[in-house]
Amino acid sequence: MISFFLDQASEAGFEEIQPPIVINSDSGYGTGQLPDKEGQMYGIVDSDLYLIPTAEIPITNLYRDVILKEDELPVKNVGYTPCFRREAGSWGSHVRGLNRLHQFDKVEIVQITRPQDSYKALENMCAYVEGLLKKLELPFRKLLLCGGDLGFTSAITYDMEVYSAGQEKWLEVSSVSNFEAYQANRLKLRYKEAGKKTTLLHTLNGSALALPRIVAAILENNQTEKGIIIPEILRNYTGFDIID
């Protein structure tokens, strides 16, 4: 599935980045994880370093203190990394198995755009994630988060959820967010139009996609008397079409 997600991103015009999985506190501050989500991040003892909770952080920080030219926009990057989250305060049967893990693999897409283009980019990113779920033949829904559920860095966030037949509930598999100029202001990420002053850019990111819950949904939604049917789009990657 990782290869499938990366191939799809490449076809959609995203340039693949292989980012580090260890960041310093300045990087966490630049994208808004610090000082807010320390309780969810794994710190490295006796250092100013953390394991990444998402590839959004190192990818977006590649453009810290950068002034981009207008013809370099939009920036579209994709990265696959393991992700590490403490999930502090999470316990109970509803988060067992693949639902919530301290380490998991995820493919992340990041865009950097002019302010006037960011909401169109958000629509395109949502449509892209929806397209992945359709190709995987999974039942899904799209939710617009209310203000109380937003992280303080985000101006708007859509969640994509797939239905898990085995668990009889919806599982979040992607969040797509527009941070407007919040991260760019912290990162001093700007662009310069010809003959004009530098202007802060807008940053966006989304999961495309995280593996554990997608795996769970495929296993639980495709069970037949003969076995678990592999979605057709994945068969060239797996080399088989059913799990007996």
- CATH at 76: 3.30.930.10
Smallest Cα–Cα separation from 36: which of 25, 49, 22?
25
Average pLDDT, the chain: 93
Share of the chain above pLDDT 90, in %: 84
Give the mean model confidence (pLDDT) for residues 170-181.
97
Residue 46: inside a domain, yes or no? no
Examine residue 70 and state whether it is found in any structural domain, yes or no: yes
Residues facing residue 162 across a β-bridge = 140, 171
Range of the domain at 10: 2-20+53-239
| Count: domains in the chain | 1
Q: Is the pLDDT of residue 81 over 80?
A: yes
93 pLDDT band, cuts 50/70/90, is very low
The reported pTM is: 0.92
> Which residues make beta-bridge pairs with 148?
none
Is it the case that residue 96 has pLDDT exceeding 80? no
- For the cut 70, the answer to whether the pLDDT of residue 243 exceeds it is yes
Report whether pLDDT(4) > 50. Answer: yes
Query: Is residue 85 assigned to a domain?
Result: yes
Q: Which of 105, 122, 128, 129 is nearest to 54 (CA)?
A: 105
Q: In this predicted structure, what is the pLDDT of residue 166? A: 82
CA neighbor of 174 nearest in space, from 184, 163, 185, 161: 161
- pLDDT at position 227 is 96
- CA torsion sign for 187, 193, 198, 200 is negative
Residue 11's Cβ-count burial label (10 Å; 0-12, 13-18, 19+) is exposed
Q: What is the CA radius of gyration of the chain?
A: 19
Point out the least confidently predicted range of 36-40, 111-115, 118-122, 167-171: 36-40
Residue 195 has pLDDT above 90, yes or no: no
CA dist 221 to 67, 149, 165, 213, Å?
A: 47, 28, 5, 12
Residues designated catalytic: 85, 100, 172, 175, 213
- Phi and psi of 49, rounded to 5°? -125, 150
Decide if 38 is inside a domain.
no
Q: Is residue 210 part of a domain?
A: yes
**pLDDT band with cut points at 50, 70 and 90 for residue 94:** low
Which of 196 and 20 is assigned the larger pLDDT? 20
The CA dihedral of 122, 124, 125, 129, to the nearest 10 degrees, is: 140
**Is 33 inside a domain boundary?**
no
Identify whether 32 is part of a domain.
Answer: no
Tell me, yes or no, whether 48 lies in a domain: no
Which pLDDT score, from 0 to 100, does residue 57 have? 98
Given pLDDT bands bounded at 50, 70 and 90, which one contains residue 98? low
